[in-house]
Amino acid sequence: MELSTRFNPADVEDKWYSHWESKGYFHSEPDDREAYSIVIPPPNVTGVLHMGHMLNNTIQDILIRKARIEGKNTCWVPGTDHASIATEAKVVRMLREKGIKKSDLTREKFLEYAWEWKEKYGGIILQQLRKLGASCDWERTSFTMDEVRSDGVLKVFVDLYNSGKLYRGLRMVNWDPEAKTVLSNEEVLHNDENAKLYYVKYMIEGSDEFLTVATKRPETIMGDTAVAVNPKDERYKHLEGKRAIVPLINRSVPIIQDDYVDVEFGTGALKVTPAHDPNDYDIGQRHNLEVIATINEDGRLNEKAQIHVGEDRFEARKTVTNDLEEAGLLVKVEEYVTSIVRSERTNSVVEPMLSLQWYVDMKKIVDPALENVLNNTVQFFPEKFKNTYRHWMENIRDWCISRQLWWGHRIPAWYYGEEVFVALTAEDALTQAQEKLNKPELTIDDLKQDEDVLDTWFSSWLWPITVFDGFNDPETLKYYYPTNVLVTGWDIIFLWVARMIMAGYEWENEKPFHHVYFTGMVRDKQRRKMSKSLGNSPDALELLEKFGADGVRFGMLSCSPAGGDLLFDEKLCDQGKNFCNKLWSALNLIKGWTVDDSLPIPAANQKAIEWFHSVKASTIDAVEKNFKEYRLSEALISLYSFAWNDYCSWFLEMMKPDYQKPIDPVSYQATVDFLSDICTLLHPFMPFVTEEIWHLLKERSEGEDCIVSQPPGTETSDEHLLAQFKLIKDITSNVRDIRNKNGLKKKELLDLMAVKSDETEALVSDKGLVDVLKKIAFVNSLDLSDTAPDGGIAFISGKSAFNVMVEVKVDAEAECAKLKADLEHQLKFVAGVEKKLANERFVNNAPEQVVQLEHKKLADGKARIEQIEARMAQICG
């Protein structure tokens, strides 16, 4: 069969993906085998595949495919989360385009639209993951709002409430005026931005005196209920007990003294707006100040502001500033860089607001989650994230879990007046109410369910439990849980990872996963985070199209140390694509050979096969070690080098029959088997090209697929043989260099002389080795001599001197200079070793092996010096 000269991913990817799926290789049911499970970090149901997902899911797929080849019962559970804020925003926008306002809809009707939207557009990303080759157990696809997952969420809410770990409290919250919901501390971003600091005069009541306060939010002036100064501030001592007049609205407020005020900052006088600033709120609490909320949930001023009612807070900032200026109360405006808090989702500036919300009392559930990470029961890769984790966990704050949205899990709390009843169902809540209030006549209609839904993370934190229906099916859970590893970005260590660990211990008394592999963040070459607004993120699907899934997977992996930044460059995918072609052309070569069963195996090939077994063994050893440490890019690089350098560049050159000559069956079989092994070893990283080559390489029986192939057996590598080949390869490189520099063609066979030494005698006496050397270095003969022959071109390899016997003019001066430099280097080396060996403390204290090695280094170095000096005596005057 004729093969194209290049590997074409588009021809094979869909074919193999559906083959694997139809064979049921992705699906898992509990059985006698050891389980290997991973739960996907559920992407946002509104999401589309981006670079972060590709990295993350490539890694998960590599781990799953590796475990599958090892014969484990692998289960990678896919799914999506319902992303309250993002999805609700999408649905609202979609409705607005249809001319429907959310406020005109009932909750039920809105949810109908939302589900419709979800069914239609949600989960595109799961389809896209297939293009990447993700071998998820699609039959287990989960959604945070489907029945099983929802039941779990309600159950834990009720559990936490009943055990006193959940409460409803009035607090200053992070309000997102665009999404019109509260956010948790973990969902807001602090960033330094350019702002202005406004200096405003507040007149002292009953006098012409004034004091100046500095504020960055003049639009909140109308909510001021005090002016505060530091009690130690001499400048304001005389104002104790006096009152100030709030500009524009002329409210009289007390001048209070509070340690919070920083004498150094601004004017040392602070306007206090308890309704719109967390610190001001605290001051207000201490001094019993009135709380006047002047900003609405949509960020506009309300009637309490008295002026500019209905204006947006940023518009009001301008108009109020104008008013102040006109009134002669604006002293100055300074440029000012300050940290601004924004919503992670909508990017709108967070408005601090006083609000009644539900909180999880984190201190009551944090302990086992902290302890078991610190003692490595749950192991982090890289380990440095333990520090970050500990810091956050030790300073943990309560988790605000209610959201003022409709798309999500509605809070299972029912109110009757001031009383609250938390239960799984309205009926249970009613029973509770009837008993507690001693009012058997109450009906469901008398109770009012909380209007709010729960934070999406409040369902995600149960993911490793609920995807296995763990609260109802303990048997299945026991088989897959704890899952083996969680693969996710470090940016959600608090939002998700920490909380999953807490939930695991809280409800299962067991960790959710053994290992956490934190991926790096994908950045562009300039280290900028990839983002839509910068437009520096390549389109994932286009990338897959352009380089093939294997190429992209290679590209993502080859530059991604765990936890570090990943500087993405398309060139890396290109390298992956080229690697596919390299493997493909190796297949092409082998397929072109004809086998002659009557041929015996040549000594050289016998030797080469033995050598390659050793190389393979040491490669597998390195790869296994790297997998254990999750050094996946390292593992890939060693396989890349094994396949490209060891197999293609060296082994195939050693085995290759002469042009149009047949090959013996043993050599052929070995060559095929080694490539087959390479396919198995590389399969987790590059599943498509390896499956294709695997099948083209030789006839395979039904079900004999690379995805489930046997891992190559573990052999021990022969260090002595590896060293011998290292010498052969070095001699070959030297000969090639001499050819290069002297314009000698490859076809021109050369004669090689070696000066007699242990090393060269051992080499020459091994026919197999000599034949390998002759073949790859295009050498006609290798003979020994007692001293270096006159003429020819000399080189030193290992610790021995060689001579390529050709009639060319040698540039004696250049060679002398090179020899001299070489000699200096060797003398320095030997001197260093001698010094070490002369040190009695070294000889007495260092391990025997280390001392032995130094002796060998010394002997080898001396031998090299001898050869260099001999050559110099010959050619340097």
Partner RNA sequence: GAGGGUAUAGCUCAGUUGGUUUAGAGCGCUUGCUUGACAGGCAAGAGGUCGGCAGUUCGAGUCUGCCUAUCCUCACCA
The 271-310 site mask, x for binding RNA (CB under 7 A), equals ------xxx-------------------------------
Alpha carbon distance 152, 150 (integer Å): 5
> In the range 45-84, which residues lie near RNA by CB under 7 A?
none
Which residue in the set 581, 717, 757, 874 belongs to the binding site for RNA (CB under 7 A)? 581
Q: Which is nearer to RNA, 409 or 656 (CB)?
A: 656
| Region label for 180, one of left (φ > 0), alpha (ψ between -120 and 50) or beta (otherwise) | left
> In the range 1-30, which residues lie near RNA by CB under 7 A?
5-6
Per rule CB under 7 A, is residue 339 in the interface with RNA? yes
Which residue in the set 586, 675, 706, 763 belongs to the binding site for RNA (CB under 7 A)? 586
Per rule CB under 7 A, is residue 634 in the interface with RNA? yes
| Region label for 436, one of left (φ > 0), alpha (ψ between -120 and 50) or beta (otherwise) | alpha
* Smallest gap from residue 298 Cβ to RNA (A): 23
User: Which range in 22-30, 450-458, 609-617, 850-858 contacts RNA by CB under 7 A?
Assistant: 850-858
For 546, the 3-state DSSP assignment is: helix
Which residue in the set 253, 373, 552, 648 belongs to the binding site for RNA (CB under 7 A)? 648
Alpha carbon distance 682, 678 (integer Å): 6
> In the range 495-534, which residues lie near RNA by CB under 7 A?
none
User: Which range in 72-80, 318-326, 459-467, 587-595 contacts RNA by CB under 7 A?
Assistant: 587-595
User: Which range in 410-418, 422-430, 572-580, 691-699 contacts RNA by CB under 7 A?
Assistant: 572-580
User: Which range in 242-250, 636-644, 673-681, 702-710 contacts RNA by CB under 7 A?
Assistant: 636-644
The 808-827 site mask, x for binding RNA (CB under 7 A), equals -----------------x--
Tokens of 570: 């398309």
The 392-431 site mask, x for binding RNA (CB under 7 A), equals x--x-x----------------------------------
> Using N-to-C axis directions, what is the helix angle for 51-69 and 124-132, rounded to 10°?
60
Long-range contacts of 420-426 (CB under 8 A, 24+ apart): 420/168, 421/447, 422/157, 422/158, 422/161, 422/162, 422/166, 423/158, 424/154, 424/155, 424/158
Name the residue with tokens 């050289």.
Answer: 604
Return the number of other C-beta atoms located less than 10 Å from residue 690's C-beta.
27
Per rule CB under 7 A, is residue 262 in the interface with RNA? yes
Q: Which is nearer to RNA, 473 or 737 (CB)?
A: 737
Q: Which is nearer to RNA, 112 or 737 (CB)?
A: 737
For 142, the 3-state DSSP assignment is: strand
Q: Which is nearer to RNA, 137 or 280 (CB)?
A: 280
Per rule CB under 7 A, is residue 578 in the interface with RNA? yes
Alpha carbon distance 150, 355 (integer Å): 26
Q: Which is nearer to RNA, 30 or 561 (CB)?
A: 561
Which residue in the set 649, 669, 757, 874 belongs to the binding site for RNA (CB under 7 A)? 649
> In the range 699-758, which residues lie near RNA by CB under 7 A?
732-733, 736-737, 740
Per rule CB under 7 A, is residue 860 in the interface with RNA? yes
Backbone angles phi, psi at 228, to 5 degrees: -115, 145
Q: Which is nearer to RNA, 105 or 846 (CB)?
A: 846
User: Which range in 30-38, 153-161, 182-190, 310-318 contacts RNA by CB under 7 A?
Assistant: 182-190
User: Which range in 37-45, 103-111, 214-222, 431-439 contacts RNA by CB under 7 A?
Assistant: 214-222
Alpha carbon distance 72, 23 (integer Å): 16
Per rule CB under 7 A, is residue 644 in the interface with RNA? yes
Q: How far is CA 661 from CA 521, 596, 821, in A?
A: 52, 9, 46
**Whether the Cβ atoms of residue 378 and residue 501 lie closer than 8 Å to each other:** yes
> In the range 86-145, which residues lie near RNA by CB under 7 A?
none
Cα dihedral angle (172, 176, 181, 186), rounded to 10 degrees?
Answer: -70
Per rule CB under 7 A, is residue 218 in the interface with RNA? no
Q: How far is CA 854 from CA 267, 277, 859, in A?
A: 72, 70, 9
Tokens of 487: 């693969």
Tokens of 467: 């995807």
User: Which range in 106-114, 360-368, 442-450, 641-649 contacts RNA by CB under 7 A?
Assistant: 641-649
Which residue in the set 88, 186, 224, 664 belongs to the binding site for RNA (CB under 7 A)? 186
In the sheet with 793-797, reading across from the earlier edge strand, the strands are 779-785, 750-755, 800-804, 793-797
Per rule CB under 7 A, is residue 388 in the interface with RNA? yes
**Whether the Cβ atoms of residue 759 and residue 727 lie closer than 8 Å to each other:** yes
**Whether the Cβ atoms of residue 114 and residue 91 lie closer than 8 Å to each other:** yes
Per rule CB under 7 A, is residue 270 in the interface with RNA? yes
Which residue in the set 163, 250, 322, 338 belongs to the binding site for RNA (CB under 7 A)? 338
Per rule CB under 7 A, is residue 216 in the interface with RNA? yes
Name the residue with tokens 């969420």.
Answer: 153
* Smallest gap from residue 712 Cβ to RNA (A): 20
